Amino acid sequence: MRLAQALFAPRAVALIGASGDARKNTARPQRYLRKHGYTGRIVPINATRDEVLGERAYRSVADAPFDIDHAFIMVEEVEQALEDCGRKRVPVASIYSNGFADAGPAGVDRQRRLVSKAKSLGVRLLGPNSMGVVDLPGRVALTVNAVLEMDAPPAGGTSLISQSGTMLGTLLSRGAARGLGYAKLVSIGNEADLSVGELVELLVDDADTKVIALFLETVRDAERLARAARKAHAARKPIVAYKLGRSALGEELARTHTGALAGTDVVAVVTTTGGGAASVVDRLGLLGLELASMHDLTMTSTQDTYRTTLETLLASAECDAVLAAVGSSAQFHPEFAVEPIVQAKRAPKPLAAFLTPHAERSLALLAERGIPAFRTPEACADAFAAFFAWRSPRAEFGARTTIIFGPSPEFPASLGIPVAQHAIVQAPLFEHSLLYPVALKRLDLEHKTEAGGVALNIGSHAELVQAAERMAQPRLLVQTMEFGLTEAIVGYRDDPVVGPLVLVGAGGTLAELYKDFAVALAPVSEAEAAELVGKVKGLAVIRGYRNLPRGDVAALARTVSALSRLALIEGRPVREAEINPLIVKAEGVVAVDARLVLKG
């Protein structure tokens, strides 16, 4: 029989380890198969009972007196159960049991042995650590996922393969709430045998499947998946993948040598769903927030453990905020999901909740108790980022000063900013008393460099005269050449919406190419200016980066603060001002070019 049929449309299913206690997880597959109208044969396998929840039960798969298409293994002795399946010629086994690659190096070895045994027995494996498969149009609910408590999940043309069992429930419940139905849903677990790629190939051939959705924590066989994706594309079936770990991949590819930024805000996470929590943590990473610690309470959690873990983190100095992520229990048992969060002893530290399934009642309960609760990882992470972006209000600057300033090249000097020595030279002699080397600049152009209006590094008067004659201007500006460790741009702008702003950026083309600048409301103190300078990435080269010589960051900050004080001039006559470049040296800074635009 074909693999797809055994997996998704088995004529008989063996439930190995089926419990007679309807409240247990291991009773769920039987309950869900019945509840959602499975038309095949259900065969409970139980070591001690002849009847389980009203069905005839057997001690072993081997004892069942008819063919089994699909076994669902929920016992600890997975190896024994698998051997029974092999002898019975069961073509596929889904394994809910865990303790394999999900459980450290010993588990990895156990999994390797399991796979080789399955191969020799001719049994294909889904899992281990899989929550099973669902085929909604086919009425097969072979799963332990509590989302199947739902009465009538809508069928539709999307099929899902999920590496997180919880996220399978989440996507099914949220889809149902939004009118989006599913065809097949597969919890792929550890992917020991059946891989995402192979399952995509099966779904490409599945008539009910129009769209293939993937929830991925990693990619275990990129080549097979790529091949399957090409096959899906050729069949005009779109694949929509949600892949965790974007922030980690970005970091690794950048191979940054700078280490974590000092003072990054850190968030601790308590969760009952690894995949759900990871989706928020991933986004936090993209926003520059770091994970302090992750407490995954899946399986073992009780209300008390959850609450005390939260309380410990809220009281601890090791994190700046706490996120409580809740999986499937949030949907059908809001009391259970919400109570420990609501009851936890609060601290001034922010606490927020993220609920993965469709769980409007739990969201409302939490909000009513003053705990921000989110339904998307994006909104949740954005809220943390916004919280940490908050700064206390700036003090009002009282006295306004009056500053007198002359025409463009001199105005920085009137603010106390050092300016390169300069003089105006006139044709035909172009005499001056500055030391060489010098720079020669036209006085009448805004974008001098592009227009050939600048000559740098002129070493002698003869060269100067040559360059000046090329520019063919009666009056020119000559400046002492200045050399430093880097260039910066310092700007001021009276914005019609937000008021006066000061800007500092990396010099040359960097501020523009990379938008590498930092902005604040003007005026700023020297301390505030220093903080601003610290935000400019390109200025890392003068902050002691990779043993490069340090520049005079304090003098740069003084300059930023000085320019920002244009905001204090009575009547605020200045619309824009810019020093570009400002040369930063090991000691001191010097303005080499400046521009000033008055209002009106």
**Contacting positions for its own copies (CB under 8 A):** 177-180, 218-219, 222-223, 226-227, 229-230, 233, 245, 249-250, 253-258, 360, 363-368, 373, 376, 378-379, 382, 392-393, 396, 449-450, 493, 497-499, 501, 503, 509-517, 519, 537-538, 540-541, 545-547
| Least gap, CB of 18 to its own copies (angstroms) | 36
| Least gap, CB of 353 to its own copies (angstroms) | 12
| Least gap, CB of 59 to its own copies (angstroms) | 43
Written as six digits, the tokens of 583 are: 């040369």
State the first-to-last Cα distance of the chain, in angstroms, to the nearest integer. Answer: 84
Q: Which is nearer to its own copies, 330 or 363 (CB)?
A: 363
Q: Which of 589, 592, 311 is nearest to 457 (CA)?
A: 592
| Least gap, CB of 31 to its own copies (angstroms) | 27
Q: Which is nearer to its own copies, 144 or 351 (CB)?
A: 351
> What is the 3 state secondary structure string of 246-270?
HHHHHHHHHCCCCCCCCCCCEEEEE
Q: Which is nearer to its own copies, 333 or 537 (CB)?
A: 537
Q: What are phi and psi of 133, to 5 degrees?
A: -125, 150
User: What are the CA-CA distances from residue 153 to residues 171, 212, 549 (Å)?
Assistant: 11, 18, 65
Q: What are phi and psi of 467, to 5 degrees?
A: -65, -40
| Least gap, CB of 141 to its own copies (angstroms) | 22
Q: Which is nearer to its own copies, 179 or 407 (CB)?
A: 179
Side chain identity at 43, as an amino acid letter? V
Q: Which is nearer to its own copies, 22 or 498 (CB)?
A: 498
Q: What are phi and psi of 553, to 5 degrees?
A: -65, -35
User: What are the CA-CA distances from residue 250 to residues 283, 285, 467, 539, 568 (Å)?
Assistant: 12, 10, 48, 22, 43
HSE-CB for 570 with a 13 A CA cutoff: 5
Is residue 176 a contact partner of residue 153, using CB atoms and an 8 Å limit?
yes
Which residues are within 8 A (CB) of 541 and not within 5 positions of it... i.e. 6 or more apart?
485, 486, 548, 551
Neighbours of 202 (CB within 10 A): 20
Distance CA 95, CA 29 (A): 12
Distance CA 238, CA 159 (A): 11
| Least gap, CB of 114 to its own copies (angstroms) | 22
Q: Which is nearer to its own copies, 91 or 491 (CB)?
A: 491
Q: Which is nearer to its own copies, 59 or 224 (CB)?
A: 224
| Least gap, CB of 546 to its own copies (angstroms) | 6
Written as six digits, the tokens of 321 are: 């905020």
| Least gap, CB of 298 to its own copies (angstroms) | 23
Q: Which is nearer to its own copies, 23 or 546 (CB)?
A: 546
Q: Which is nearer to its own copies, 239 or 266 (CB)?
A: 239
Is residue 95 a contact partner of residue 73, using CB atoms and an 8 Å limit?
yes
| Least gap, CB of 400 to its own copies (angstroms) | 13
Q: Which residue has the tokens 């009118």?
A: 179
Q: Which is nearer to its own copies, 427 or 519 (CB)?
A: 519
| Least gap, CB of 223 to its own copies (angstroms) | 7
266-271: strand order across its sheet = 290-296, 266-271, 321-326, 351-355, 373-374
Q: Which is nearer to its own copies, 152 or 249 (CB)?
A: 249
Which residues are within 8 A (CB) of 33 and not within 5 positions of it... i.e. 6 or more apart?
13, 42, 140, 141, 142
Q: What are phi and psi of 16, to 5 degrees?
A: -85, 110
| Least gap, CB of 180 to its own copies (angstroms) | 5
